[in-house]
Chains A and B, each alone.
Chain A
Amino acid sequence: MLDKALTGSKLYWAWVLFLLVLVGIGTAAYIKQFNYGLGITGMSRDVSWGFYIAQFTFLVGVAASAVMLVIPYYLHNYKTFGRIVILGEFLAVSAVTMCILFIFVDMGQPMRIMNVVLHPRPNSVMFWDSLVLSGYLALNLLIGWANLHAEKMGVPHPSWTKPLTYLSVPWAVSIHTVTAFLYAGLPGRAFWLSAVMAARFLASAFAAGPALLLLLALLVRKITRFDAGKEAIQTLGKIVTYAMFVNVFLLGLEFFTAFYSHIPEHMASFKYLYMGLDGHNKLVPLMWTSSVLAVVSMSMLVFPQIRRKEKLLAVACVATFISLWIDKGFGLVIGGFIPSPMDHVTEYWPTGIELLITMGVYAAGILVLTVLYKVAISVKVANEYPAPLKGAVEEAH
Chain B
Amino acid sequence: MKIDRRQFFKVAGWGAAAGVTAMNVVGRFGSGGRAQAFESMETPETVKAKQFAMVVDMSKFKTKDDIQKVIYACHHTHNVPNWGNPKDEVKWIWTDTYKHVFPGQESPFLDEAFKEMPFLVMCNHCDHPACTRVCPTKATFKRPDGIVMMDYHRCIGCRFCMAACPFGARSFNWRDPRLALNMNDLNMEYPTRTKGVVEKCTFCDERIAQGKQPACVEAAPAGGLVFGDIDDPNSDVRKALARTYTIRRKPELGTGPNIYYVIGGGETNAG
A and B co-occur in one complex: yes
Q: Do A341 and B167 touch across chains, with their CB atoms under 8 A apart?
A: yes
| In the complex, chain B residues whose CB is within 8 Å of the CB of A187 | 130, 164, 166, 253-255
Q: Do A127 and B156 touch across chains, with their CB atoms under 8 A apart?
A: no
Give the Cβ gap from B134 to chain A, nearest Cβ, in Å. 5
| In the complex, chain A residues whose CB is within 8 Å of the CB of B197 | 108-109
Q: Do B157 and A341 touch across chains, with their CB atoms under 8 A apart?
A: no
Taking A38-B157, A109-B157, A115-B154 as contacts, is the C-beta distance between A341 and B168 under 8 angstroms? Answer: yes
| In the complex, chain A residues whose CB is within 8 Å of the CB of B235 | none
Taking A126-B158, A188-B166, A346-B86 as contacts, is the C-beta distance between A37 and B103 under 8 angstroms? Answer: no
Q: Roughly how many angstroms separate A193 CA and B195 CA in the complex, as a whole number?
A: 30
8 Å CB contact of A48 from B100, B136, B138, B172: B172
| In the complex, chain B residues whose CB is within 8 Å of the CB of A36 | 175
8 Å CB contact of B195 from A37, A48, A123: A37
Q: Do A113 and B130 touch across chains, with their CB atoms under 8 A apart?
A: no
Q: Is B248 an interface residue (CB 8 A)?
A: no
Q: Do B168 and A108 touch across chains, with their CB atoms under 8 A apart?
A: no
Q: Do A37 and B166 touch across chains, with their CB atoms under 8 A apart?
A: no
Contact with B along A250-269 (1 / 0, CB 8 A): 00000000000000110000
Residue of A nearest to B167 (CB): A341
The secondary-structure label for the interface of chain B is: loop
Q: Do A188 and B167 touch across chains, with their CB atoms under 8 A apart?
A: yes
Give chain A interface residues in 263-280, CB to chain B under 8 Å.
264-265
Contact with A along B119-163 (1 / 0, CB 8 A): 001000000001001111111000000000000001111111011
Q: Is A134 an interface residue (CB 8 A)?
A: no
Q: Is B104 an interface residue (CB 8 A)?
A: yes
| In the complex, chain B residues whose CB is within 8 Å of the CB of A124 | 133-136, 160
Give the Cβ gap from A40 to chain B, nearest Cβ, in Å. 8
| In the complex, chain A residues whose CB is within 8 Å of the CB of B65 | none
Give chain B interface residues in 209-261, CB to chain A under 8 Å.
250, 253-255
8 Å CB contact of A342 from B90, B103, B173, B253: B103
Q: Do B89 and A45 touch across chains, with their CB atoms under 8 A apart?
A: yes
Q: Do A119 and B158 touch across chains, with their CB atoms under 8 A apart?
A: no
Taking A36-B175, A126-B158, A343-B100 as contacts, is the C-beta distance between A120 and B196 under 8 angstroms? Answer: no
Residue of B nearest to A187 (CB): B253
- The contact sample of 10 A-B pairs, CB cut-off 8 A, is A49-B159, A49-B163, A108-B159, A108-B173, A109-B156, A112-B137, A186-B130, A186-B134, A188-B250, A342-B101
| B interface with A by C-beta (< 8 Å) | 86-90, 96, 99-101, 103-104, 121, 130, 133-139, 154-160, 162-168, 171-176, 194-198, 250, 253-255
| A interface with B by C-beta (< 8 Å) | 36-39, 43-46, 48-49, 103, 106-110, 112-113, 115-116, 118-121, 123-127, 130, 182-183, 185-189, 264-265, 336-337, 340-344, 346
